[in-house]
């Protein structure tokens, strides 16, 4: 168990004191001292988010602004297209898009959200990758773009069916936002960037807020009995049920967006035969996979028993096969399903829905079936 002394070297978000005051059980995560759960525990926090509204501190994630030196947003968008396979130039003002930074072999350096805020692009990147992401952006885009990190902003996620009503008490305009819409709005007297998104499969919002007002705003949200603080444990089980990738686990530098089942996020314009095909790092490999398929692919897996099958478990095509054909990259218990769920990589030829595979867990071969994702239907407001 972590000695409390070890936490001294960890960074703290602007909500750190609030987590402690609320009884958060703190753990090191991506260099930060973060709440993994509160008193109700992961199961109840998970189910509360699916039924009410959960407030997550995701301030450890990186927030970055890109401005074109020319003053024209389109120049920043086209510059960023050298680093991601997504169509950024066509991203409308007030809209957000899921993207991946790729490397020269087509592997994923990080996944991120990109927003067009009219005069600038606004990026949200993973905590563990944010320093490398900033360096990557500076290395490739410094000539064309001003790159500004926003360490003085906190990031809150309010997720669940009661998130809209809870947030509308601060600003009725949030009800006009649809999934992946973004607006700059005043909330609790603070200039915020509000996106209708999250990473739980639920309707909800992510709110970028000035750090010095973040605690008061979080307290105000938590004044609503429908809103509970939720830790990283439930965030992980929610995103797993939603079939969403966790960087460093389900996707990394050894997997391409196509292998990771993220082809849906690559617009036609950037593919072979599109208006602006390729031109991003690793595009040769990624376009070839989009055209010709992949050897391995990410799949959803439903263990047939009750035992969770966790990250790292080897997958076999029979109970007595000696050679593994794949492995589990995320796995655990899905509280909404009251059953274990997992995802992992299998040979594309053996990745069809309902295919029976076996995972090795503590020396036993447990049966799982390939399942479509999300495991729990999402409730986005489109």
Residue ranges that bind other proteins, judged by CB under 8 A? 1, 36-37, 41-44, 46, 233, 237, 306-308, 310, 332-333, 335, 340, 362
Q: Which residues of 286-322 are buried (b: 16+ CB within 10 A; e: fewer)?
A: bbebbeeebebbbbbbbbeeeebbbbebbbbbeeeee
**Which CB atom, from 7 or from 267, has the smaller least distance to other proteins?**
7
In the complex, minimum distance from the CB of residue 306 to other proteins, in angstroms, rounded to a whole number: 5
In the complex, minimum distance from the CB of residue 133 to other proteins, in angstroms, rounded to a whole number: 28
**Which CB atom, from 7 or from 355, has the smaller least distance to other proteins?**
7
In the complex, minimum distance from the CB of residue 34 to other proteins, in angstroms, rounded to a whole number: 14
In the complex, minimum distance from the CB of residue 309 to other proteins, in angstroms, rounded to a whole number: 10
**Which CB atom, from 37 or from 116, has the smaller least distance to other proteins?**
37
**Which CB atom, from 238 or from 287, has the smaller least distance to other proteins?**
238
**Which CB atom, from 311 or from 317, has the smaller least distance to other proteins?**
311
Helix (H) or strand (E) holding 287: helix 283-292
In the complex, minimum distance from the CB of residue 333 to other proteins, in angstroms, rounded to a whole number: 4
In the complex, minimum distance from the CB of residue 42 to other proteins, in angstroms, rounded to a whole number: 4
**Which CB atom, from 282 or from 334, has the smaller least distance to other proteins?**
334
In the complex, minimum distance from the CB of residue 330 to other proteins, in angstroms, rounded to a whole number: 13
Per residue, the 3-state secondary structure of the chain, as one string, reads CCCHHHHHHCECCCCHHHHHHCCCEEEEECCEEEEEECCCCHHHHHHHHHHCEEEEECCCCEEEEEEECCCCHHHHHHHHCCCCCCCCCCCCCCEEEEEEEECCCCCEEEEEEEEECCCCEEEEECHHHHHHHHHHHHHHHCCCEEEEECCCEEEEEEECCCHHHHHHCCCHHHHHCCCCEEEEEEECCEEEEEECCCCCCCCEEEEEEEHHHHHHHHHHHHCCCCEEECCHHHHHHHHHHCCCCCECCCECCCCCCCCCCCHHHCCHHHCCCCCCCCCCCCHHHHHHHHHHCCCEEEEEEEECCCCCCCCCCEEECCCCCCCCCEEEEEEEEECCCCEEEEEEEEEHHHCCCCCEEEEEECCEEEEEEEECCCCCCCCCCC
**Which CB atom, from 169 or from 310, has the smaller least distance to other proteins?**
310
**Which CB atom, from 300 or from 303, has the smaller least distance to other proteins?**
303
In the complex, minimum distance from the CB of residue 376 to other proteins, in angstroms, rounded to a whole number: 15
């Amino acid at each position: 168990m972590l000695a409390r002394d070890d936490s001294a070297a960890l960074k703290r978000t602007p909500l750190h004191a609030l987590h402690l005051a609320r009884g958060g059980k703190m753990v090191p995560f991506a260099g930060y001292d973060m709440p993994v759960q509160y008193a109700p525990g992961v199961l109840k926090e998970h189910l509360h988010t699916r039924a009410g509204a959960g407030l997550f501190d995701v301030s450890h994630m990186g927030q970055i602004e890109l401005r074109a030196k020319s003053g024209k947003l389109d120049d920043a968008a086209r510059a960023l297209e050298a680093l991601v396979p997504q169509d950024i130039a066509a991203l409308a003002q007030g809209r957000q898009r899921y993207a991946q930074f790729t490397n020269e072999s087509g592997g994923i350096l990080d996944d991120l959200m990109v927003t067009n805020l009219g005069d600038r692009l606004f990026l949200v990147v993973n905590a563990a990758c944010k320093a490398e992401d900033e360096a990557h952006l500076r290395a490739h885009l410094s000539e064309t773009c001003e790159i500004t990190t926003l360490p003085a902003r906190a990031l809150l996620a309010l997720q669940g069916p009661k998130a809209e009503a809870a947030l509308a008490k601060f600003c009725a305009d949030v009800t006009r936002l649809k999934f992946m819409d973004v607006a700059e709005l005043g909330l609790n007297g603070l200039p915020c960037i509000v996106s209708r998104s999250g990473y739980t499969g639920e309707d909800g919002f992510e709110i970028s807020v000035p750090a010095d007002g973040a605690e008061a705003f979080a307290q105000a949200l938590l004044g609503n009995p429908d809103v509970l603080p939720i830790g990283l444990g439930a965030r992980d089980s929610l995103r797993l049920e939603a079939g969403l990738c966790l960087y460093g686990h389900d996707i990394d530098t050894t997997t391409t967006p196509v292998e990771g089942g993220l082809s849906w996020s690559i617009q036609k314009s950037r593919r072979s035969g599109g208006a602006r095909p390729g031109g991003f790092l690793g595009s040769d490999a990624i376009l070839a996979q989009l055209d010709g398929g992949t050897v391995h692919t990410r799949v959803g897996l439903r263990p047939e028993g009750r035992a969770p099958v966790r990250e790292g478990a080897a997958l076999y095509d029979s109970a007595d096969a000696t050679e593994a054909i794949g492995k589990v990259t995320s796995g655990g218990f899905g509280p909404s399903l009251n059953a274990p769920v997992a995802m992992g990589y299998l040979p594309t030829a053996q990745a069809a829905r309902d295919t029976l595979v076996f995972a090795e867990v503590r020396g036993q071969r447990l049966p799982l079936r390939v399942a479509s994702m999300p495991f729990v239907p999402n409730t986005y407001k489109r």
